Amino acid sequence: MQPKLYIGIMSGTSLDGIDLVLVSFNSPKLSLLCSKLVPFPASLQGELRLLAEPGNNEVERIGPVENQLAECYAIGVQQLLKQANYQPEQISAIGCHGQTIRHRPSQPQPFTVQLGNMHLLAALTGIRVIADFRRKDMAYGGQGAPLVPAFHQAVFAKLGQNRAVVNIGGIANISLLNADGTTTGYDTGPGNCLMDDWVSLHRQLPFDKDGAFSAEGKLLPDLLQHLLEDNYFQQSAPKSTGREYFHLGWLQQRLSGQEAAADVQRTLCRFTATSIAKALQRPNLTEVYICGGGVYHPLLMADLQQLLGPATVQSSSVAGIEPDWVEAIAFAWLAQAFDRQLPGNVPAVTGARKACVLGVEYRP
């Protein structure tokens, strides 16, 4: 039987660009055939950052942004196919997450918003698109996030071993892959988002490359404790969050103004590590796989290893999937799960009343 080909597209809360992958599925195995990062145009990136927080005239601003996103996604798909030497008609579908600008799962009327004109993406590429993965889970009482644990379970779990997968993008989320075959998980809080915002404010850099800014500073224990006292960390799972909650304004409200900028950056690094480690505290945890941009922050990885030892903390590449592409592959996987009518959520993770087939189809 010929393997089926799917494209996965992910643009996350770090807002660093669009991750695209071409994946071959020959059930139950998958192979990554090609991958590509397409940076956001600066104007689009800036508009997405503004839309991630409440602002003025959002509806008028969202319309053009949705179309611009679809155009950027389509350009990425075309470049990916050219690089891999495949034609659109050879692709079963595109699984596209869209760009989250608001995630409010705990309100009286819960909702989530992912931007991207998927009809336009299908028209521009000539390929079916599967998108809108979160709202079906929310319709059944779930948080709609995190969505990747079902994929993590399929590719990283091993019976008899307690493993964890941690994605450290703008927001960090965990999947606990238990020895008995069950899976749980949730968003732990900020991943890179506060560190990115702080280094951007003080060094005009998009992120803390190699953790250099963090390494200049010293830990501020009182600030760390103050940050960890936020109500989000006291809530029990299932829970999820986003940039609309953890943003630069949230941080600045908790500062005295007397702190050295590098000391704040060092403390934010430890804050991310501590919030993740607290979520992973359980007996007999043996292996922790890290994916997302946080894997390239040496001090963050060292903090995690210190806090989680004796479990080993290492890149997901050790388990066979490069950390940059795990989430994009997950959305290719969710698209093929939609086509096979297999559940894409884990109710123990999201709190949904039942396992559901996730996604909506958009045809060219």
Q: Which residues are annotated as a binding site for ATP?
A: 12-19
- Is residue 325 within 8 A of residue 19, CB to CB? The reply is yes
Rg (CA), the chain: 20
d(CA 64, CA 68): 6
The strand pairing partners of 167, in sequence order, are 173, 291
- Is residue 178 within 8 A of residue 145, CB to CB? The reply is no
Which strand ranges, in their side-by-side order, compose the sheet holding 4-10? Answer: 29-38, 18-26, 4-10, 93-96, 129-131, 360-362
User: What's the chain's length in residues?
Assistant: 364
- Please state the residue numbers annotated as binding site: 12-19
Category of 99 on φ-ψ map: left (φ > 0), alpha (ψ -120 to 50) or beta: beta
Q: CA dist 327 to 58, 89, 91, 173, 332, Å?
A: 28, 24, 19, 11, 9
Q: Are strands 285-291 and 312-315 parallel, antiparallel or unpaired?
A: parallel
The strand pairing partners of 38, in sequence order, are 18
59 burial class (0-12, 13-18, 19+ CB within 10 angstroms)? exposed
| Encoded tokens for 152 | 């993590």
Task: Give the containing element (helix H, strand E) for 130.
Answer: strand 129-131
The one-letter code for the residue type at 231 is N
Task: Give the containing element (helix H, strand E) for 92.
Answer: none
The strand pairing partners of 291, in sequence order, are 167
Residue from 345, 10, 279 nearest 144 by CA: 345
Q: What are phi and psi of 9, to 5 degrees?
A: -125, 130
Category of 130 on φ-ψ map: left (φ > 0), alpha (ψ -120 to 50) or beta: beta
The one-letter code for the residue type at 36 is K
